[in-house]
């Protein structure tokens, strides 16, 4: 099945239309991508795997796609790593993670099986010495129905996240029980024999299943992330169909539980899910995520472009004052070229001849003074645009794609999907926005990374207009650089 998938990709990839495909974001050569999986630093390179359906630009039978990078910005595609070719994963090799043991790379993933109206999800192992070819462990599943803890559901028992601490391997698995979502913890000395340890974290009224749990220690705390399905909407946050949340706390390794604070949204935009946190090269705390959302229409698939889905620009993360701080991975700056800088006082609409582009980094420092609001319109052309708006009186940053060229519709349980807002109070009235555009994506880092908002937005073909709009007077300094990696 791997050979057939690779042959299909090789035969068809030249037919992909890349008009909306990011140049410095990882996306499949062909076909559908969802969650990042098995993100790991192994033998001098970062490896990224992902939920992959190579045969269509829509969700389907899951394989694991695979790419490597030295710096998390420029990726090289490798052959498909896993195919659903066993009884226990016949309906999909679903999400999971990776760990290195004794120079060998291990992938731990959910085998999904759906037969005669019964869904069974088990945890399985595959390994590789060269980091390219993977062998499935013959004793799979390593965690099957016999090891399901009481109160968990075998139908929703997935997305193992593995780490090592003091010679012991730990695995979180997301699941659900009557009225509550939770993650359960297993432990093992050899990655093969696993024993149930404890319910790691459990909450009521916090969504259905918690997908894609993830955990790292950083800045003296434990940082937990997961993706709750159908998380209750907040006033502004948690507006997507499924949310991606983090909590800060402490793991008690003596009993296998975590004491964690409130859940906060990781990203305030429309398109961010299934984040995976890892300790990368030199112990760096890095996060990836799927730059998309379930329950939406997918424009590249609708247009027949032959692909759908990409991952965020990886982020360096830290915890300050109990809150997550996210910065673009620093390697991206080496790809930023052709710097243009302007400054002045804006009132009304203004654009600059040299400030345009669809694959750019913008850094805007705006002294809002007496202004009511300040906005940046991107992918602007043919009367269509996406807007990044800061409303000073409300203290709210909004990412609005409702005036884009191609519309995205959303599941009715999603709050529209077109506009996302988040509270943000800039220090000393100076708003700093660092914005990355990549053909159809917008990632906005506000302040020092206290707030990040990510949304897909499809402008008119080749729309590269960037327009600044100030209601009242705003003194601005604007830097524009092209991000050139493809
Ligand atoms: C999250 C998810 C996971 C699952 C995978 C299937 O987006 O639903 O829970 O393992 O996608 O592709």
Evaluate whether 317 touches 287 at the Cβ level (below 8 Å).
yes
Q: Which of 297, 271, 275 is nearest to 57 (CA)?
A: 297
Ligand 1, atom 9, residue with closest C-alpha: 211
Secondary structure class of 340 (helix, strand, coil):
strand
Report the pLDDT value the prediction gives residue 370, as an integer from 0 to 100: 85
Residue 409 CA, ligand 1 centroid: distance in Å:
21
Which tens digits make up the pLDDT trace of 351-386?
999 999 999 999 999 999 889 999 999 999 999 999
Report the pLDDT value the prediction gives residue 429, as an integer from 0 to 100: 87
Q: Which of 156, 274, 292, 411 to mutate for ligand 1's pocket (most ligand atoms within 8 Å of CB)?
A: 274
Q: Residue 477 CB: number of other CB atoms within 10 A?
A: 15
Residue 37 CA, ligand 1 centroid: distance in Å:
10
Secondary structure class of 195 (helix, strand, coil):
strand
Question: What is the percentage of the chain residues whose pLDDT exceeds 70?
Answer: 100
Q: Which of 49, 51, 112 to mutate for ligand 1's pocket (most ligand atoms within 8 Å of CB)?
A: 51
Which tens digits make up the pLDDT trace of 451-472?
999 999 999 989 999 999 999 9
Secondary structure class of 288 (helix, strand, coil):
strand
Q: How far apart are CA 158 and CA 153, in angstroms?
A: 10
Whether residue 299 has pLDDT greater than 90: yes
Residue 274 CA, ligand 1 centroid: distance in Å:
8
Report the pLDDT value the prediction gives residue 179, as an integer from 0 to 100: 81
Residue 469 CA, ligand 1 centroid: distance in Å:
40
Q: Which of 63, 52, 26, 65 is nearest to 288 (CA)?
A: 26
**Closest atom of ligand 1 to CA, residue 227:** 1
Strand order in the sheet with 180-188: 157-165, 168-177, 180-188, 194-204
Residue 207 CA, ligand 1 centroid: distance in Å:
15
**Closest atom of ligand 1 to CA, residue 159:** 10
Ligand 1, atom 8, residue with closest C-alpha: 211
**Closest atom of ligand 1 to CA, residue 96:** 10
- Per the prediction, the chain carries an average pLDDT of 96
Alpha carbon 25 to its chain's center: 11
| Four-point Cα dihedral 130, 132, 133, 135, nearest 10 | 80
**Closest atom of ligand 1 to CA, residue 110:** 10
Q: Which of 64, 84, 94, 231 to mutate for ligand 1's pocket (most ligand atoms within 8 Å of CB)?
A: 94
Report phi then psi at 378, rounded to 5.
-125, 170
- Tokens 């990839």 locate to 13
Catalytic residue list: 35
Residue 279 CA, ligand 1 centroid: distance in Å:
22
Report the pLDDT value the prediction gives residue 252, as an integer from 0 to 100: 98
Evaluate whether 324 touches 471 at the Cβ level (below 8 Å).
no
Residue 270 CA, ligand 1 centroid: distance in Å:
18
Task: Quote the Cα angle for 319-324-326, to 5°.
Answer: 105
Which tens digits make up the pLDDT trace of 245-258?
999 999 999 999 99
What average pLDDT does this structure show over 303-322?
A: 98
pTM: 0.98
Q: Is beta strand 307-308 parallel, antiparallel or unpaired with respect to 31-42?
A: parallel
Report the pLDDT value the prediction gives residue 417, as an integer from 0 to 100: 77
Q: Which of 211, 273, 276 to mutate for ligand 1's pocket (most ligand atoms within 8 Å of CB)?
A: 211
**Residue list, ligand 1 pocket, CB within 6 Å:** 34-35, 51, 62, 94-95, 110, 158-159, 211-212, 273-274
Q: How far apart are CA 115 and CA 120, in angstroms?
A: 8
Q: Which of 158, 160, 291, 295 to mutate for ligand 1's pocket (most ligand atoms within 8 Å of CB)?
A: 158
**Closest atom of ligand 1 to CA, residue 242:** 7
Which tens digits make up the pLDDT trace of 73-131?
999 999 999 999 999 999 999 999 999 999 999 999 999 999 888 999 999 999 999 99
**5, 199, 261 from 223: Cα distances, Å:** 37, 17, 10
Q: Which residue has better confidence, 272 or 412?
A: 272
Residue 20 CA, ligand 1 centroid: distance in Å:
24
Residue 155 CA, ligand 1 centroid: distance in Å:
13
- Tokens 């993100």 locate to 39
Strand order in the sheet with 285-290: 273-279, 285-290, 315-320, 323-328
What average pLDDT does this structure show over 327-344?
A: 97
């Amino acid at each position: 099945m791997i050979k057939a998938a690779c042959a299909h990709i090789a035969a068809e990839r030249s037919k992909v239309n890349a008009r909306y495909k990011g140049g410095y974001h990882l996306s499949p050569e062909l076909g559908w991508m969802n969650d990042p999986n098995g993100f790991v630093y192994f033998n001098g390179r970062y490896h990224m795997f992902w939920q992959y359906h190579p045969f269509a630009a829509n969700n389907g039978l899951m394989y694991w796609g695979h790419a490597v990078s030295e710096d998390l910005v420029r990726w090289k595609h490798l052959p498909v790593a896993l195919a659903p070719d066993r009884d226990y994963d016949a309906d999909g090799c679903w999400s999971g993670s990776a760990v290195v043991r004794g120079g060998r790379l291990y992938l731990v993933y959910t085998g999904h099986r759906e037969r005669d109206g019964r869904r069974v999800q088990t945890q399985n192992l595959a390994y590789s010495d060269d980091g390219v070819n993977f062998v499935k462990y013959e004793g799979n599943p390593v965690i099957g129905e016999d090891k399901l803890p009481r109160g968990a559901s075998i139908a929703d028992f997935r997305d193992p996240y593995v780490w090592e601490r003091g010679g012991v391997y730990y695995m979180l698995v997301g699941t659900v029980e009557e009225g509550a979502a939770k993650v359960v913890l297993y432990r093992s000395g050899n990655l093969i024999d696993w024993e149930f340890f404890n319910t790691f974290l459990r909450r009521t009224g916090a969504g259905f299943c918690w997908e894609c749990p993830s955990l790292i220690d950083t800045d003296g705390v434990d940082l937990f992330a997961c993706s709750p399905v159908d998380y209750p909407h907040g006033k502004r946050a948690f507006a997507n169909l499924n949310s991606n949340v983090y909590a800060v706390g402490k793991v008690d390794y003596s009993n296998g539980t975590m004491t964690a604070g409130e859940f906060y949204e990781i990203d305030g935009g429309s398109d961010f899910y299934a984040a995976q946190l890892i300790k990368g090269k030199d112990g760096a705390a890095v996060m990836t995520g799927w730059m998309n959302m379930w329950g939406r229409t997918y424009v590249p698939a609708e247009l027949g472009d032959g692909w759908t889905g990409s991952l965020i620009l990886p982020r360096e993360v830290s915890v300050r004052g109990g809150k997550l701080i996210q910065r673009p991975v620093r390697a991206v700056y080496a790809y930023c070229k052709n710097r243009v800088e302007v400054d002045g006082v804006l009132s009304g609409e203004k654009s600059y001849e040299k400030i345009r582009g669809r694959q750019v980094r913008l850094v805007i420092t705006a002294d809002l003074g007496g202004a009511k609001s300040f906005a940046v319109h991107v992918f602007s052309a043919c009367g269509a645009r996406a807007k990044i708006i800061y409303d000073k009186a409300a203290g709210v940053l909004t990412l609005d794609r409702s005036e884009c060229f191609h519309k995205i519709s959303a599941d009715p349980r999603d709050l529209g999907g077109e506009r996302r807002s988040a509270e943000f109070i800039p220090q000393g009235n100076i708003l700093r926005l660092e914005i990355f555009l990549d053909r159809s994506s917008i990632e906005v880092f506000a302040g020092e990374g206290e707030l990040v908002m990510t949304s897909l937005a499809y402008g008119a073909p080749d729309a590269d207009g960037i327009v600044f709009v100030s209601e009242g007077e705003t003194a601005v300094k604007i830097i524009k650089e092209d991000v050139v990696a493809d």
